[in-house]
Structure 1
Amino acid sequence: MRGAALMTAAMVTFTINDTFTKVLSEALPLWQLIFLRGLGVTVCLLILARAMGQLTYRLPRRDWFYMWLRAAAEIGGAYFFITALFNMPIANVSAIMQVLPLSVALAGALFLREPLGWKRLLAILIGFGGVMLIVRPGGADFTSYSVYALLAVACVTLRDLVVRKLSRAVPSLMVSVVAAVGVTVFAGAASLTETWQPLAGWDVFHLAGATVFVIFGYVFSVTAMRVGDIGFVAPFRYTSLLTALILGVLVFGEFPTVPTLMGAGIVVATGLFTLFRERRLNLLRPVVPSRIR
């Protein structure tokens, strides 16, 4: 239950960070925003990793390659997600991102040869149908930014698949530190192509809010996966959608359409089914004791 509470807190704080970020879209260029937020995130993650003894540089080249590949996927995900967030209702973007457990399961089966039964495959296809209800290609609300949200899903899926290739010797916070450094450095270089804007009083407050809440999101999510059973904790990720719906109405006056709500419901239902099936299959698999080295 403590893991579930921490995962809920992580999703709420991540979504509040998204809200602050969306508010800043009217004041700051994209890469300047990502760079300034990334500075604070990187410093805090370095301090946290050092305090927890997870800051290490003696890792195999193979792990470094996968960590930097993951960082590249993180850069693409940040660009596409924040661009979509700047130009779409926050609830719509959040609803599309809820398809991640489905896309990761499908990509794992296609590229990593992970087992995928027909029931989960059917749930994934239905879930993608729910995404189409949200995006509605050819509809009046469909824009290029809807495609950006889907590309963000693709980048984050790659990011999550790469993690599975890392050895157990790599600390989880070290992976986050490398990603934060990669995103910040790339954003800093890309921001040189933009005209930097001065920060007004409220802009500083919103930027600080985005930085603080994304840091808390990292801390809560890492702690949740450490203290709670993954199969039990993972479904609580969907609280981010409820938070996005509430904040979209209260902060931006964005009321989701009926098709969007229907699509979001389908995505969440199929995602929960997929997580339930994966948990059940893991419980049925025999436990093979690992060799002591």
Structure 2
Amino acid sequence: MRPMRGIFYKICSVVMFILMASLIKATADHVPPGEAVFFRSFFAMPVIIAWLAMRGDLQTGLKASAPMGHIWRGVVGTMAMGLGFAGLAYLPLPEVTAIGYAAPLLTVIFAAMFLGEDVRLFRISAVVLGLIGVSIVLSPRLTVVPGPGNDGASLGAMLVLGGAVFAALAQVFVRKLVLKETTSAIVFYFSLTATVLSLATIPFGWVIPAPREAALLVLCGLLGGVGQIFLTSSYREADASVVAPFDYASMLFALAIGYWVFDEVPTMTMLIGASIVVTAGVLIIWRERKLGLERAKQRKAMSPQG
């Protein structure tokens, strides 16, 4: 285990994904979200295939023993991506990022519901705290009073929140898939499934992107593929509990890009809500690490050598 390298890879992945979201936002006024999903997924596949070939995993890494599991993971993951991309057209980048932090909180709930995972008072309390933070972020967008600052914002908030729900469901499917499938297969077949599913949105109004937009969308796919490689590599180099908190560095990058590129000034309400969500997420990660250490000690005590 090389934790510092794992942390470095994780931060690199966070940067890639935030840049990717920024490129999607830059084209969102003209390019439909389904079309953006196609570019993000299709142009990520060459990067992933090249990476697998360099590692010598191309032949074995793409074998799938649970094809329906990959399909279902692809369906909910594509929904998450499409809704999140759609929301970028209506909301500031930092706000989309903050609402997206609801996904790991909801994963705790869905894992208990669908996988039978034991969730005790501490994690339940942290989830409730995090959802309160999400509610604070959402509150200005759910007003019924019309105004220039609220045009489409309520729709955007619901789209991003829906994307977080589907992202959490996707993580539940991934937790089931990792018991049978390699990480390489999960990553590749998600991109493949998302590419195919995105084509179903053609009748809903794809456009011919301008040369600049096309270049940004292709770059979006390449960044997504590179980000996925960095993400996978980070978990190979360090425990999940070590690298997972660095997901929240995305807020810093989102605030910087939102301010300097899109002239988005964060509100105090958004910052307070995001801080609460981040705190709740870190508490859950800390608790998971503590439980993992306790389980490791119990296994060691029960082993013949212990």
Whether 1:287 aligns to 2:290 is no
- Corresponding residue number in structure 1 for 2:181: 170
Q: Report SS of the residue matched to 1:164.
A: helix
List per-residue Cα deviations over 1:118-175 (Å, max 9, x = no partner).
1111111011000000011633645122111111111111110011112544110211
Q: Which amino acid aligns with 1:244?
A: A
Using structure 1 for the length normalisation, give the TM-score.
0.91
Aligned to 2:299, what secondary structure does the other structure show?
coil
Q: Which residue, 17, 32, 53 being the options, matches 1:14?
A: 17
Runs of 4+ that moved beyond 6 A: none
Following the alignment from structure 2 to structure 1, what is the Cα–Cα distance between the partners of residues 122 and 34?
Answer: 42
Q: Which residue number in structure 1 is paired with residue 158 of structure 2?
A: 147
Residue 46 of structure 1 pairs with residue 14 of structure 2: no
User: 1:271 and 2:281 equivalent?
Assistant: yes
2:292 partner amino acid: N
- State whether residues 98 and 241 of structure 1, in contact with CA within 8 Å, keep that contact through their aligned partners in structure 2: no
Structure 1 residues 51-90: aligned runs within 5 Å: 51-52=54-55, 53-56=57-60, 58-60=63-65, 63-90=66-93
How many pairs are equivalent?
Answer: 287
> Does the residue aligned with 1:215 lie in a helix, a strand or coil?
helix
Tell me the CA shift for residue 13 of structure 1. 1.0
Match of 1:261 among 259, 271, 276: 271
Distance 2:71 2:99 in 1: 26
Q: Deviations over 1:203-224 (max 9, x none)?
A: 2332233122212211110100
Per-residue CA distance 1:8-28 (angstroms, 9 max, x = gap): 110111001100111011332
Any unmatched runs of 5+ in structure 1? none
Q: Is the 2:96–2:160 contact (alpha carbons within 8 Å) kept by the matching residues of 1?
A: yes
1:22-46 Cα offsets, whole Å, 9 max, x none, are 1011332322232233221122223
Once structures 1 and 2 are overlaid, which stretch shifts more, 63-72 or 134-143? 134-143
* TM-align CA RMSD: 2.0
Q: What percent identity do the matched residue pairs reach?
A: 25
**Residues 55 and 173 in structure 1, CA contact (< 8 A), matched pair in contact too:** no
The whole-number CA distance in structure 2 between the counterparts of 1:287 and 1:107 is 27
13-22 or 187-196, which deviates more: 187-196
How many Å separate the matches in 2 of 1:182 and 1:90? 26
Match of 1:232 in 2: 242
The offset of 1:275, in angstroms, is 0.5
User: Which among 220, 223, 236 is matched to residue 213 of structure 1?
Assistant: 223
> Where do 5+ consecutive residues of structure 2 fail to align?
none
What is the letter of the counterpart of residue 287 of structure 1?
A: R
SS at match of 1:26: coil
Moved more, 254-263 or 129-138: 129-138
TM-score (norm 2): 0.88
Per the TM alignment, residue 96 of structure 1 is displaced from its structure 2 partner at its CA by 0.8
Q: 1:167 to 1:275 in 2, by over 3 A?
A: closer
Residue 100 (structure 2) pairs with residue 100 (structure 1) = no
SS in 2 for 1:32: helix
Q: Match for 2:299: what amino acid?
A: V
Moved more, 39-48 or 81-90: 39-48
Instruction: Quote the residue 1:138 is aligned against.
Output: 142
